[in-house]
Structure 1
């Protein structure tokens, strides 16, 4: 199995550790998407579950879209420099290689996002 596929599986497994309170919206070879289970306002639109994150494979990396870093910016200012290097834009991480340290950093970040969203009753 190639390295990107392994990274994809590990990222999906990290999200799956939080089901519930998260739920799987999409699970396919090209997209894995999780959201909350409560009805919520997302912008001006009412949704069945507040968007939390996605794992999307691309030819050269795996994209981790992580919405809590966008909605709760100040709570994630101190993510590790290793993880920060992967952040492209406001909420998308491009993961090309993943060692144990980066995997743990991502797990901590996702755990924190779940805690924040639970506290704010978004999920």
Structure 2
């Protein structure tokens, strides 16, 4: 059964609310037209093979898609095993390394999501991506 626009909006609002709780210290960009929100670190850092300075290291984002709401969580690249233990319910929606696809509100465990974001912020501070 396809996801309804009401369900998609409800999931988006839950995820958006969780991201807003870590912003600040994270810097957020909101694109209301595309119904997306993105967070990045608050410190300019070198990035890529040429070490070009970027305004902040990408952290996480949420976007609405036709069949789901996607949550990209970049710290998952660095702390994969810890994240699997920390968020067993959310892991069921993980596709690939960093992309969670949510199709039902009950798939979004807010407690696990808050712990995941808190752990990610800590990882970003340790990596030097935040002040």
TM, length-normalised to structure 2: 0.83
C-alpha displacement at 1:84, in angstroms?
1.0
**SS in structure 1 of the partner of residue 109 of structure 2:** helix
- How many residue pairs were aligned? 123
Residue equivalent to 1:56: 63
List gaps (5 residues or longer) in structure 2: none
Distance verdict in 2 for CA 1:13–1:91, change over 3 Å: same
- The answer as to 2:10 corresponding to 1:35 is no
Matches within 5 A, 1:9-24: 9-24=13-28
Instruction: Find the structure with the greater CA-based Rg.
Output: 2
Residue equivalent to 1:108: 115
Output one character per residue of 1:45-95: Cα deviation in whole Å (capped at 9) or x when no partner: 321001001101011110000000013334323133321110000100001
The root-mean-square deviation of aligned C-alpha atoms, in Å, is: 1.9
For residues 100 and 25 of structure 1, what CA distance do their matches in structure 2 show?
25
2:77–2:97 CA contact under 8 A, matched in 1: yes
Q: Choose the corresponding residue for 2:84, options 77, 81, 97.
A: 77
**SS in structure 2 of the partner of residue 69 of structure 1:** helix
List gaps (5 residues or longer) in structure 1: none
Residue equivalent to 2:126: 119
Task: Select between 89-98 and 66-75 the one with higher mean Cα deviation.
Answer: 66-75
